[in-house]
Amino acid sequence: MAGNGQQHAPMSEQLAKLQTAIEDASKEGGDKATAIADKGRQILALARELAGDIAGVTRETVSTRASRAYRKIHDEAQYDVELARETVREHPLMAVAGVAAVSALVAACVTSALSRRH
């Protein structure tokens, strides 16, 4: 039985109800009731296996989609990083000026915040 411990709760509840119904049928007694309960147990085993397979396929599908999304985002980020590097190579003085401007802005904010505390 594939993935039996990982089933979705409502599906597990339905399988438990089915098992109870099968056991109740077997308690009725008689050859026909016993035969029906035996077939019911076979159906229950197949249902549990199917539920496990559904859970496994769902996990694999979600995992595959997450991996694809990660690769796409990673590739886009790598492209953006390479684009930034290329821009810095083509315009190194502008890059240095940009870093200096951001540094000055951060320094001004820190100085302002410190002066308000005192």
Please count the structural domains in the chain: 1
15-45 pLDDT per residue, tens: 888 888 888 777 777 777 788 888 888 888 8
Residue 104 within any structural domain of the chain: no
Residue 106 within any structural domain of the chain: no
**Residue 70: count of CB within 10 angstroms of its CB:** 10
Residues 6+ apart with CB under 8 A from 101: none
Which domain covers residue 41, as residue numbers?
4-91
Residue 1 predicted with pLDDT over 50 = no
Question: For residues 23 and 1, what is the distance between their CA atoms, to the nearest angstrom?
Answer: 20
Residue 102 within any structural domain of the chain: no
Question: For residues 39 and 87, what is the distance between their CA atoms, to the nearest angstrom?
Answer: 72
Residue 53 within any structural domain of the chain: yes
Residue 40 within any structural domain of the chain: yes
Residue 63 within any structural domain of the chain: yes
Residue 61 within any structural domain of the chain: yes
Residue 111 within any structural domain of the chain: no
33-79 pLDDT per residue, tens: 788 888 888 888 888 888 888 888 898 999 999 999 999 999 999 99
For the entire predicted model, the pTM comes to 0.47
Nearest to 53 by CA among 6, 10, 16: 6
